[in-house]
Every structure is written in structure tokens, then in C-alpha cells.
Amino acid sequence: MKYAACVAVGVVLGGLAVHLFGGGELSGGSEPTDTDSVRRAQRAADEEGDQAASKSAGTAATAEIAKLLGAPPEGATREDLLVRDAALRRELTRLRSTEAAARGEERARPKILDLGPDELRQMAERCEVRFDVPHVGIEGDHMASQLPPEGISDEERTAISRASEDFHRDVVTQLRALYVEATGDEAGASALSPESIIQEIWDKVAPDDVSAARRQIARELAGLDPPRSAGSEVPVAERQLRVLMAMGDRWEDVVASVIGRERAHAIRVGHGGWGSQSAMSGCPDGD
């Protein structure tokens, strides 16, 4: 399943319900095959094609709106003006529909941050976890660019970019190690983007491992179970989920190191979380 950032996607698979504002997919698998390589190549091509199509459509729509909002051409007849008026009304209707859809999606998004004890206990009953993930990318120097343009000076943005280098390097190293463990594909670990690595790992791990990971982490967060002891054997699915769930707080720490905790958290909350926001729920069979 393909997905676009900030679009809610619902997936039900093996008892798993996933609602991602940033997207995802889950399936099972084992050793890397030629089919896996083809799928990875196709995924990269699809992403490039989607981005190009979206940009082209946006450019065309902008040009059409500018044309409609400009002064009517000299010598325009009454019929010309009526056609122009109808086109403007259609565009207004489309924009209103888009705005209404965006408001509906915003209302549908679950609360991600600052969850209270009662909320965490209710989530634990559904084996539900919620988290935000900043966009990492292959290179780390772009990370500060995903921060909102308002409220941060150019000097602060540059300092955040420098401060993010260690965070980016550590996250990518963790994800690549998990990918190699899950797939055995060392070449792919260095060639794929972090986002693609995350998806490939979800493709390979067993759905039961994912639901068990959600149950374990949700119960820990609710205070119903103690955290896993150091050195205990933890499946790849749970380790990846823990990496992803820690990224939002870690990125806030990076931003806070430059602009202070209060401002960093306010920016994060004001946008509903960094990058992609996800809610995953569904308990293992038999629970």
C-alpha cells in the first residue's frame, strides 16, 4: 500500500489496525529474494512518480486559478464571462471541499502527545501505541528544514541542523542493523532510505511479533507491566517499534538544545507532532 504524508490510512492485517498520518504497511516474509529487490525498486519509482505527479497537478491548478483571478480579456462577451463565472464557482466548490476534508481529517486524528494515565490505560486494553516520527532521510542536514518557518531564526535553524547530526547518525545506524538482522541484506541496508528500511522491516517480521510488541509497550507506558530487563531477548519488531517511538522525544531534545524546552515542545504540540503521526492498535490472537 502506498501512502502520502499527513494522509490518514487505515490497514487491517492479522488483527492489526493501523491509522497512520504518514503511512505504513505490514506483511510477513523471510529471506531477501529477487522479488524483494524488484519491490524495493518499484517502491522508489512509485514514490518519485507520485511526487512528480503531485507537483505537476499542483502547478497546473495554481496556473488555472491565477488565470481565473486575473482580469477578463478585452472584448470578452457575456457568454465568455458566464463561462468564467462558472469556472470560478467550480474552483471555489473544490477548495471548500478540500478544506472541509482537511478539517475532518484533523478531527479524526488521535491525540499523540501528553497522554494522561487514564488514556494510557484505555490504550493498553487495545494494545494501542501512538507516536510521532520526524522525517529522517538519507542525509541528516535537511532535518531542521522540516521545522515550521515561523518562530525560528535562520541562526537557530542552522544550529539545530548541526545539533541533529549525531541523532541522525545514531537512528540510521540502529535501523540499518535491524534491517540486516531481519532480511540478511547488507547491501540493501546502505542503499535504502531510512523510511524504506522501516517499511522493509515491517514487511519481513511476523504480524504476531508486531502485535505482541504493541501489547508489551502499551502496558509498560500505562504502568501495568515493568519495562523489559536489560539484556532480555527482544524480537526485531519490538526493537524497531521502540526506536520509532523514541524518535519524537529525541528530536525534541535536539531542538530544545538550541531554542529551549518550552519553545521546542510548543512547536511540536502546535503541529500535532513531528513529521508523521501514527496510531497502531490490535492485540495478539487469544488476548
Task: Encode pLDDT of 244-277 as tens digits.
Answer: 999 999 999 999 999 999 999 999 999 899 988 9
Main-chain dihedrals φ then ψ at residue 33, nearest 5 degrees: -130, 175
- For residue range 97-140, what is the model confidence (pLDDT) as tens digits? 676 665 655 556 789 999 999 999 999 999 999 999 998 887 76
Q: Let me know: does 197 contact 175? Beta carbons within 8 Å.
A: yes
- The helix-helix angle for 78-108 and 34-69 (nearest 10°) equals 130
Q: What is the mean pLDDT of residues 185-204?
A: 91
* Cell numbers linked to 209: 511479533
Helix (H, G, I), strand (E, B) or coil at 18: strand
pLDDT at 20 over 50: no
Q: Let me know: does 167 contact 254? Beta carbons within 8 Å.
A: yes
pLDDT band of residue 171 (cuts 50, 70, 90) is very high
pLDDT score for 84? 74
Q: Let me know: does 286 contact 208? Beta carbons within 8 Å.
A: no
Q: Give CA–CA dist 119/115, Å, rounded.
A: 6
Query: Which of the residue ranges 34-38, 157-161, 222-226 would you say has the lowest mean pLDDT?
Result: 34-38
pLDDT at 18 over 80: no
pLDDT band of residue 68 (cuts 50, 70, 90) is low
Stated pTM of the model: 0.66
pLDDT score for 134? 93
pLDDT at 4 over 50: no
Contacts of 40 (CB under 8 A, 6+ apart): 188, 192, 196, 200
pLDDT at 77 over 90: no
Query: Which of the residue ranges 11-15, 47-51, 155-159, 230-234 would you say has the lowest mean pLDDT?
Result: 11-15
Contacts of 240 (CB under 8 A, 6+ apart): 175, 178, 198, 201, 202, 205
Q: What is the mean pLDDT of residues 227-243?
A: 88
Q: What is the mean pLDDT of residues 227-241?
A: 87
- Tell me the average pLDDT of the chain: 78
Q: What is the mean pLDDT of residues 274-286?
A: 89
When comparing pLDDT for 48 and 197, which is higher?
A: 197
Query: Which of the residue ranges 17-31, 61-75, 263-277 would you say has the lowest mean pLDDT?
Result: 17-31
Q: Let me know: does 13 contact 27? Beta carbons within 8 Å.
A: yes
Q: What is the mean pLDDT of residues 184-193?
A: 89
The letter for the amino acid at 168 is H
* Cell numbers linked to 274: 513531528
In the chain, count of helices (H) and strands (E)? 9, 4
Side-chain-facing half-sphere of 157: CA atoms under 13 Å: 13
Q: Let me know: does 129 contact 123? Beta carbons within 8 Å.
A: yes
pLDDT band of residue 33 (cuts 50, 70, 90) is very low
pLDDT score for 120? 97
Q: Give CA–CA dist 143/129, Å, rounded.
A: 25
pLDDT at 147 over 50: yes
Percent of the chain exceeding pLDDT 90 equals 47
